Every structure is written in structure tokens, then in C-alpha cells.
């Protein structure tokens, strides 16, 4: 039986964690679905998918808009995003470059 692939964790992910999976994890931190020190390292795809559904349910409550979040969630969202961008840039991520660059 083939061993299932496990996620490397947001801090070891490509592009400094600026990936779809990284976004799911950061949003889970925003909504308190995961503690901010949970990187999801070692998780199977099914666990990430379950988390994605939970995150989607939370975003649906706010019309999928940051501006609709209560002030404390907006503040957490922006703080987490700013920290993520800084960490990703330090890891060599350049938001100006596309996937093909």
C-alpha cells in the first residue's frame, strides 16, 4: 500500500506559504479554528480539505468579505496576512512574479 502524501507545513511550503493551502491555514487562524502555532505539518489531504470546508463556512457567514468581519477579526486577518507576507518575502517569495516566471 502506497503511503499517503503529507503536507510539509505552512512554514516549509513553497513560496513562503503563499499557496492555496497556506491561505486555508491562515484563514483558519483568523477564525480561531486552529491556534496560530498549528502549521498543519504532517496533515493528510483529507484533513486539509475538512479544514477548507470549515473555513468556507466561516467566510460564508460574512459574505466572503474581509470588510464584513467584526473589527477584532479584521484586525487579526490583517495582522496574520502582514506577518505571512513578510515571512514569505524573507523566504524569497516575490508577489510580482507569476507562476510561470
- Domain regions of the chain by residue span: 14-90
Residue 81 in contact with residue 6, Cβ under 8 Å? no
User: How much is the pLDDT for 91?
Assistant: 87
Residue 97 has pLDDT above 70, yes or no: no
The 10 Å Cβ neighbour count of residue 41 is 13
Element (DSSP H or E) covering residue 75:
helix 71-90
What's the confidence (pLDDT) of residue 28? 98
Residue 101 pLDDT > 50: no
CB 68: neighbour CB atoms within 10 A? 12
Q: pLDDT for 14-52, tens place per residue?
A: 999 999 999 999 999 999 999 999 999 999 999 999 999
Packing angle of the helix pair 20-30, 71-90 (nearest 10 deg): 140
Amino acid at each position: 500500500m502506497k503511503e499517503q502524501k503529507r503536507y510539509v507545513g505552512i512554514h516549509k511550503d513553497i513560496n513562503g506559504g503563499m499557496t492555496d493551502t497556506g491561505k486555508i491555514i491562515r484563514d483558519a487562524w483568523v477564525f480561531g479554528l486552529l491556534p496560530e502555532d498549528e502549521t498543519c505539518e504532517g496533515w493528510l489531504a483529507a484533513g486539509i480539505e475538512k479544514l477548507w470546508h470549515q473555513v468556507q463556512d466561516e467566510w460564508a457567514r460574512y459574505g466572503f468579505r474581509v470588510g464584513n468581519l467584526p473589527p477584532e477579526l479584521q484586525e487579526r486577518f490583517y495582522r496574520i496576512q502582514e506577518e505571512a507576507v513578510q515571512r514569505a518575502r524573507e523566504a524569497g517569495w516575490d508577489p510580482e512574479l507569476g507562476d510561470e516566471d
